[in-house]
Amino acid sequence: MSDANQSPALAQSTDAPGWTVKARPVVDVSSRILCLVIGGGLLVGGLVGLFTEVGEGQLITVVAAGLVLLVMPSIVDRVRSMRLGQFEVHLVRQIAATARKSAETLRRLGMESQLDAYATIYTELRDPELKAVRGEILDRIVQRVANASAVEKFDKDEVKNMYLNGSPIVRVLALGLMEGDLSLIDGEVLRTAIDKSLTGNEQLHALKVIRRGWGQLTTDQQQELRQAIDANQFIKDGPDRRAVAEKIRELDESPRIR
């Protein structure tokens, strides 16, 4: 077919890149700036801690987290440009095993290499003293997929399947997709993430989704989740999780759906 016979819509779709492609460099630069700002702030906080009564263990964690965030952009670039053999984590491939369309959407948005790089770093940081750093990296991954679900429509059944059949990190990513698009929230998933979470990070992100999507839940679901939260000892023992749980208890039982 000649160019003259092409419809305007077809010409636009073939000649002009999608707005998500155009926005990709902006998001990438913003992520790098955020890493530098937060990393610098943590380092400053660590230096201040030298002159206070902050515990040595806490000080090491803060400084380590700051250093990792400062070098994160260069690490991600390096992991993107090389194969790490058996240490390489193919996160998007894991997602494709249970949610093919969701994986394709992430690839189309150009996120595969970055997500895989972050996941590789997260997996390799096994030192107990770097627990907080691992949490920071996982938060970066979750934020990326949350941003994706805020601009692209994901299939609700696929996201639920991702959670129920995925690895620990994929389960957290499914919660991140729900956080970005509240229409993806599933009561069964949230209850499982509270009662039977595989990691503390999973439970924390489930609490964040519950708080943000409270109005999307029915009254019965709200009551059931509150009871599960109140009965869970891990939430009581985890400062971050306990803080989010307290904010959930302050919410009214006033769902927007019935």
pLDDT band at 136 (very low <50, low <70, confident <90, very high): confident
pLDDT band at 27 (very low <50, low <70, confident <90, very high): very low
225 found inside a domain: yes
Judge residue 255's burial from the number of C-beta atoms within 10 Å of its C-beta, 0-12 exposed, 13-18 middle, 19 or more buried. Answer: middle
What DSSP string runs through 40-103?
A: HHHHHHHHHHTTTT--HHHHHHHHHHHHHHHHHHHHHHHHHHS--GGG---HHHHHHHH-HHHH
Dihedral over alpha carbons 158, 162, 165, 167 (to 10 degrees): 170
Q: How large is the average pLDDT for residues 55-73?
A: 55
39 found inside a domain: no
**Assigned token pair, 256:** 């927007």
Q: How large is the average pLDDT for residues 166-192?
A: 95
Separation CA 236–CA 245 (nearest Å): 9
Beta carbons within 10 angstroms of residue 17's beta carbon:
9
pLDDT at residue 87 greater than cutoff 50 = no
250 found inside a domain: yes
217 found inside a domain: yes
Task: Specify the pTM.
Answer: 0.66
**What is the overall mean pLDDT for the chain?**
76
15 found inside a domain: no
**Assigned token pair, 171:** 């389960």
**36 alpha carbon, distance to own chain's centre:** 19
- What pLDDT shows up at residue 29? 52
pLDDT at residue 147 greater than cutoff 70 = yes
What DSSP string runs through 153-185?
A: ---HHHHHHHHHHS-HHHHHHHHHHHHH-GGG-
170 found inside a domain: no
- What pLDDT shows up at residue 55? 53
30 found inside a domain: no
Q: Give the structural domain span for 253.
A: 186-258
Choose from 55-64, 93-102, 189-198 the range with maximum mean pLDDT. Answer: 189-198
pLDDT at residue 21 greater than cutoff 50 = no
Lowest mean pLDDT among 58-72, 141-155, 166-180, 236-250: 58-72
**DSSP 3-state assignment of 146?**
helix
Separation CA 52–CA 75 (nearest Å): 32
Instruction: Name the domain count of the chain.
Output: 1
- What pLDDT shows up at residue 258? 42
More confident: 145 or 133:
145
